[in-house]
Amino acid sequence: MPHINAAAALQICVLLSALPAQYFISRWYGTDSAQRIQITERLIIASWSSFTKSCLSRDAWADRLKLWLSKTRTCLNAGLLILHFRNWYYGEKKTKIGDSEAETHSYFAESTHVRSPKPEYIQFSVGQVIGHKRFGYSGVIVGWDVKAKAPEEWLQHKYPPAKQGLKDTPHYRILINKANGYGKSTAYVPEEEITIIMGVEVVHHPDMKAYFSGYDGSKYIMQPWLKKIYPHD
């Protein structure tokens, strides 16, 4: 049953208190006892009818419930509006202040965090052409991480318990040579699975010009934006 607010409670009290008042009033208007009884009965019936319509009627309670829900919905909408505004404000503020923090969560060697200094144990460089030892495809390195940076679900799927140690080794992002017909366009692989291809190896990939401006005979030349991320490659 819906909560009875102060206005409804006051209305009930007034109606109940009206019964004895109406009885005493009837004492002054009736000329004899029979008339007074009739008047009193009519007043009681009228009061009870008014009471049932306002307090015991299903429609009356439905109206009160609708009013209560309307007020509740209004308060809820206002609360949601405030919450959305708060999230927008602080989210905007955090984004402006913490852009570098957001970038550190990029996966698969796509972070724009500058790789400097370059650790000595990173054997390969961006722009070098590689071959995959097991799958046989060739490709070109377009990025690297000192250790695997990928969603945990991806890592668990790629590395079973016996190979969990590979997650802490250098990983490289590769544009796969379309001429190999391998089926995939990119790969993210650990260092131990690739080897450098010596000599000229032309890599065909639709994104090559986005990463490289040319070829110097031994490796592909990085575009300026990529060189800023990998200044020592």
Half-sphere exposure of 150 (CA within 13 A, CB side): 23
pLDDT per position as a tens digit, 118-133: 999 999 999 999 999 9
When the pLDDT of each residue in the chain is averaged and rounded to a whole number, the result is: 77
Q: CA 229 to CA 114: how far, in whole Å?
A: 4
What does the pLDDT read at residue 152? 93
Say if residue 34's pLDDT is above 70. no
| Preceding peptide of 160 cis, ω within 30° | no
pLDDT given for residue 98 in this prediction: 38
Q: Would you place residue 200 in the very low, low, confident or very high pLDDT band (cuts 50, 70, 90)? A: confident
Q: Is the pLDDT of residue 84 over 50?
A: no
Give the whole-angstrom CA distance, residue 201 versus residue 218.
Answer: 9
Q: For the chain, state the CA radius of gyration.
A: 40
What does the block give as tokens for 159? Answer: 């590395």
Query: Can you give the pLDDT at residue 170?
Result: 98
Output the pTM of the full model: 0.57
